């Protein structure tokens, strides 16, 4: 026999609401300790209280505590239903396919053939809301739930169609347009804050709001011991290279010169209409060779603590990634 998931959740909610009314008569705790009513109580119609409850603060606290317990149980019930939305056998079968596709999927981006999606696993995990290994059944189940949300067949297999939809999602979040900032909207960043401190003044310009957001993000990264950044007085130490700026504002003329130096870069790199023209795109050092798009280099970069921290936290500061280049982050706030 099968049941619709919504019906299961509804039945669970009704049962838990009944439990809430029962626990209301439990004698109060001697210390009167307790918690607030919580989310579940806010969404459940009020039940008339006996006079003893109205007159007793201790009983009010006890009831609130009991309802909080019910709320937690209700949340877990819903989460359990969601976790079971993909049959274990289906998830395991999808996991087996994902193990092969992770390194073997053939696809094309920027006019260049690509193979596998292992490089993008941190971004994929962030997008679908999981920390499960990409070869696991748990990861496949999360892929299936994401596929269902975006209107794809919920197979759990991260195939080409699914990867293309993920890429479209990431690309849609990036900056639109490539308008030059006004001169007063740019500032020249101190040479010490660049990966290459010898970079010329006109190549160390950043749009003001972007720079302020970058400094807030950098302070948070420095304060996070898991990133293990060398620091001094809350700033990156002079010897630290991770998360320093490699490149920011670039003029069209400078970009054209770069393209001539790398004629085989393809459409996926050194764009004709680059976000760097806005001064709101930052290339940050995340390891390896700073801006080399070879798969081996990008694979190394996406495993560093600095990159993985950006994947988890950069959005809080207004930055979104360019999926193809681990070092490239754009300030997308208004």
Give the pLDDT confidence score for residue 138 in this predicted structure.
97
Q: Does one domain contain both 298 and 167?
A: no
What pLDDT digit, counting tens, does each position of 155-176 carry? 999 999 999 999 999 999 999 8
Is 206 among the domain residues?
A: yes
Looking at the structure, tell me whether residues 210 and 290 fall in a common domain: yes
pLDDT beyond 70 at 287? yes
Please indicate, yes or no, whether residues 205 and 317 belong to a single structural domain of this protein: yes
Residues 150 and 106 in one domain: yes
pTM above 0.75, yes or no: no
| Average model confidence (pLDDT) across the chain | 81
- Do residues 103 and 119 share a domain? yes
- Domain C-terminal end among 83, 104, 132: 83
C-alpha span between 89 and 95 (Å, rounded): 10
Report yes or no on 312 lying in a domain: yes
Determine the structural domain holding residue 167 and report its residue range: 88-172
Identify the CATH number of the domain in which residue 148 sits.
1.10.101
pLDDT in tens, 174-226: 998 888 999 999 999 999 999 999 999 999 999 999 999 999 999 999 999 99
Shared domain for 226 and 313, answered yes or no, is yes
The total domain count for the chain is: 3
Q: Do 164 and 107 form a contact (C-beta atoms < 8 A)?
A: yes
CATH number at residue 211: 3.30.1380.10
Return all residues near 326 (Cβ < 8 A) that are at least 6 apart. Answer: 119, 286, 298, 301, 302, 307
Q: Which residue among 148, 172, 196 closes a domain?
A: 172
CA atoms of 139 and 193, how far apart (whole Å): 38
pLDDT at residue 265 in the model: 52
What average pLDDT score do residues 9-33 get?
42
Report residue 194: phi and psi, to 5°.
-100, 150
pLDDT above 60: residue 42: no
Q: Are residues 70 and 20 in the same domain?
A: yes
Structural contact between residues 278 and 178, judged by C-beta atoms closer than 8 angstroms: yes
Residue 177 lies in a domain: no
> Does residue 60 lie within any of the structural domains?
yes
**193 with 324, same domain?**
yes
- Contact by Cβ (8 Å): 86, 144: yes
Pair (71, 101) in one structural domain: no
Confidence of residue 91 (pLDDT cuts 50, 70, 90): very high
Of the residues 63, 83, 103, the one at which a domain ends = 83
């Amino acid at each position: 026999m099968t049941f619709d998931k919504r019906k299961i959740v509804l039945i669970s909610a009704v049962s838990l609401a009944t439990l809430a009314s029962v626990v209301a008569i439990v004698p109060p705790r001697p210390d009167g300790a307790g918690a607030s009513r919580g989310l579940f109580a806010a969404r459940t119609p009020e039940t008339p209280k006996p006079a003893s409850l109205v007159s007793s603060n201790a009983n009010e606290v006890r009831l609130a505590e009991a309802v909080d317990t019910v709320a937690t149980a209700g949340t877990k019930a819903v989460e359990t239903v969601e976790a079971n939305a993909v049959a274990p056998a289906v998830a395991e079968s999808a996991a087996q396919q994902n193990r092969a596709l992770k390194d073997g999927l053939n696809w094309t981006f920027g006019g260049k053939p690509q193979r596998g999606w292992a490089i993008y696993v941190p971004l994929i995990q962030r997008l679908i809301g999981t920390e499960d290994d990409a070869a696991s059944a748990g990861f496949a189940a999360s892929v299936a739930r994401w596929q269902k949300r975006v209107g794809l067949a919920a197979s759990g297999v991260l195939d080409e169609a699914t990867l293309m939809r993920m890429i479209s999602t990431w690309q849609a979040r990036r900056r639109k347009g490539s308008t030059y900032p006004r001169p007063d909207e740019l500032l020249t960043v101190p040479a010490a804050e660049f990966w290459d401190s010898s970079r010329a003044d006109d190549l160390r310009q950043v749009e003001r709001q972007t720079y302020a957001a970058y400094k807030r993000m950098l302070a948070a990264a420095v304060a996070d011991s898991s990133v293990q950044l060398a620091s001094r007085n809350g700033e990156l130490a002079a010897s630290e290279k991770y998360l320093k700026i490699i490149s920011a504002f670039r003029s069209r003329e400078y970009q054209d010169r770069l393209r001539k130096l790398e004629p085989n870069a393809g459409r996926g790199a050194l764009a004709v209409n680059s976000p760097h023209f806005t001064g709101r795109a930052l290339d940050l050092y995340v390891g390896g060779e700073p801006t080399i798009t070879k798969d081996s280099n990008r694979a190394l970069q996406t495993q560093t603590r600095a990159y993985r921290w950006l994947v988890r936290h950069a959005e809080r500061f207004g930055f979104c990634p360019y999926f193809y280049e681990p070092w490239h982050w754009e300030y997308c706030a208004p």
